[in-house]
Amino acid sequence: MRFADSLSGRLFALTLGAILLTEFLIFIPSVSGLRTQWLEERVAAARIAALALEAAPMREVSDELSESLLMKAEVLAVAEIEDDMRFQLLAPASPIEGPMRSIDLRGSTMMGRSMAAIFEYFSPEGEILVVSADGSNEARIIEIVVPQAPLKATLAAFAWRVAGLSLIIALVAAALIYAVLDALVVRPMKRVTISVEQFSRDPGSWTRRLSPTTRRDEIGRAQNALSGMEEAVADAFRQRAHLAELGSAVAKINHDLRNSLASAQLVSDVLAKSEDPRVKRAAPRLERALERAIDLATATLDYGKAAQRPPRLQSVSLRMVLLEAADEALNGGAALMQTDVPPDFTFQSDPDHLHRIASNLMRNAAEAMSQAESPAHRIDVSLAPGALVFRDTGPGLPEKARANLFKPFAGSSRTLGTGLGLVIAHELAAALGGELALLETGDSGTAFQLTLPGLPA
């Protein structure tokens, strides 16, 4: 990176510019004061020369003395004005030629003097200044004639001196301020910037993390916050890598376990046909245990997928999907599914996603109702404006299950449940552009509302 494009270069240029601007703002009243002083000195010398005339007879002096007084006062001519009458005190030794410009020192303002001083640098060469000021008493006005060239030369020399001195001061001050700010601001910010760039390329790196600092200002707090963030993100990346490896291993174990359980289930089916009374008593328990294990392995594998496949929209018979989902989820159990969906109702959706959502909701409802004392186990699926409502006659969801309803491995109300059924159904509903939400729950049952695009409003 070029120095001019870096923060250090810009900081140096900004500091230098600020100091030069400050010097210029100080220069304007300084040059204004110098100009006023130069003019007032000549007016004062002219007053002294005018006093010398007071002692002369008829207020007249010889040409030699007049020329001497004018030379000492550094003016070309001196006159007084009293009662609108103009009296030539010291006449010029030779005719005055050149453009005339009047300057009145009486009652001038600071702004006016400053503007006039700046104007002197750009005024034409060879001007003659006619300067008016207060005379020896209040009734008199003294008027002097001076060449403008000496004033302009004095102001130019002053400007060069101030410019050179200002540049030296600005360079020294800018260098000192730059060195201090570079040590206190730029270098720490450079370390932070380099750390951020390196960390963005390798977030899991241990060696490129920014170390904490003892500074308590804004930069120190930012560096410490970034250091903590880098440590947390690096730990999260390592944990994610570990979880990914663990998840891959669990998926493989679940896959092999499900195959083994399927084989064990075949053996249990054979054992169920045995005439041995002890086998007949143990076989149902073994079969239920195997079914629960297979369901757990299947749900875990489904949830472990990176993402659900995108929906494939097509014309779907909603009633047919609900009936097939009930056959799979209830599997001839005690719960019955009733629906008011017309047989001829169709809409655009993904039948597989819709089937999995409905089967998960019905399976959860059937398992919840199996814990209820009421023998009337029923699942009602009804059409609502823009949604489907799944209502059961179960005992309702406990508080813990409601608080963690769509969290994996946390939202189940059953001892051996994983809570993945509702999580998968919730994700599938979102993939279809809809939403699955708990409508109500209590002693009389639980109702879930499945909002889907395409359903009648």
Residue type, 77: A
| Residues paired with 141 in a beta bridge | 81, 134
Domain match, 363 and 334 both: yes
Residue where a domain stops, chosen among 141, 174, 207: 174
Residue 194 has pLDDT above 90, yes or no: no
Task: Determine the Cα–Cα distance for residues 455 and 384; give it in Å rounded to an integer.
Answer: 9
Domain match, 411 and 277 both: no
Domain match, 259 and 378 both: no
- Tell which wins on pLDDT, 218 or 394: 394
Query: Please, how many CA atoms are within 13 Å of residue 277, restricted to the half-sphere of its CB?
Result: 0
Domain match, 136 and 266 both: no
Domain match, 290 and 384 both: no
Give tens-digit pLDDT for 91-120. Answer: 777 788 888 888 888 877 888 888 888 888
Which CATH number fits the domain that encloses residue 443? 3.30.565.10
Name, in order, each residue with C-beta under 8 angstroms of 166's C-beta and a sequence gap of 6 or more: 19, 20, 23, 24, 27
Name, in order, each residue with C-beta under 8 angstroms of 292's C-beta and a sequence gap of 6 or more: 416
Question: Does any domain span residue 384?
Answer: yes
Residue where a domain stops, chosen among 174, 189, 205: 174
Give tens-digit pLDDT for 335-394. Answer: 788 999 999 999 999 998 999 899 989 988 888 888 776 667 889 999 999 999 999 988
Name, in order, each residue with C-beta under 8 angstroms of 428's C-beta and a sequence gap of 6 or more: 308, 353, 356, 357
| CA 295 to the chain's CA centroid | 48
What is the average per-residue pLDDT within 10-22?
78
Task: Determine the Cα–Cα distance for residues 91 and 78; give it in Å rounded to an integer.
Answer: 7
Question: Does any domain span residue 125?
Answer: yes
Domain match, 399 and 357 both: yes
Q: Tokens 């006023």 identify what position?
A: 36
What one-character DSSP code corresponds to residue 3? Answer: G
| Least confident stretch, 21-25, 208-212, 359-363 | 208-212
Task: Determine the Cα–Cα distance for residues 211 and 87; give it in Å rounded to an integer.
Answer: 86
Question: Does any domain span residue 394?
Answer: yes
pLDDT computed for residue 342 by the predictor: 93
Residue 301 has pLDDT above 70, yes or no: no
Residue where a domain stops, chosen among 259, 283, 303: 303
Structure pTM? 0.43
| Least confident stretch, 55-59, 82-86, 145-149 | 55-59
Question: Does any domain span residue 36?
Answer: yes
Question: Does any domain span residue 27?
Answer: yes
Domain match, 444 and 299 both: no
What is the average per-residue pLDDT within 233-248?
67
Domain match, 145 and 57 both: yes
Tokens read off for 381: 């699926």
Task: Determine the Cα–Cα distance for residues 347 and 315; give it in Å rounded to an integer.
Answer: 5
Task: Determine the Cα–Cα distance for residues 37 and 76; give it in Å rounded to an integer.
Answer: 18
| Least confident stretch, 41-45, 111-115, 188-192 | 188-192
Give tens-digit pLDDT for 403-448. Answer: 778 776 554 555 444 567 788 889 899 989 999 999 999 888 899 9
Q: Would strands 336-339 and 378-384 be described as parallel, antiparallel, or unpaired?
A: parallel
Tokens read off for 318: 């909603």
Q: How far is CA 24 from CA 36, 157, 265, 309, 420, in A?
A: 18, 16, 95, 71, 75
Cα torsion 330, 331, 336, 340 to 10°: value is 80
Question: Does any domain span residue 165?
Answer: yes
What one-character DSSP code corresponds to residue 376? Answer: -
How many Cβ atoms from other residues are within 10 Å of residue 235's Cβ?
A: 11
- Tell which wins on pLDDT, 148 or 49: 148
The total number of structural domains in the chain stands at 3
Domain match, 338 and 282 both: no
Q: Would strands 140-147 and 128-134 be described as parallel, antiparallel, or unpaired?
A: antiparallel
Residue 318 has pLDDT above 90, yes or no: yes
Domain match, 325 and 257 both: no
Contact 335, 366 (CB under 8 A): yes
- Reported as a pLDDT band with limits 50, 70 and 90, residue 401 is confident
247: containing domain: 239-303
Domain match, 258 and 119 both: no
Question: Does any domain span residue 233?
Answer: no
Question: Does any domain span residue 273?
Answer: yes
Domain match, 252 and 143 both: no
* Helix %, strand %, coil % of the chain (to 5): 60, 15, 25
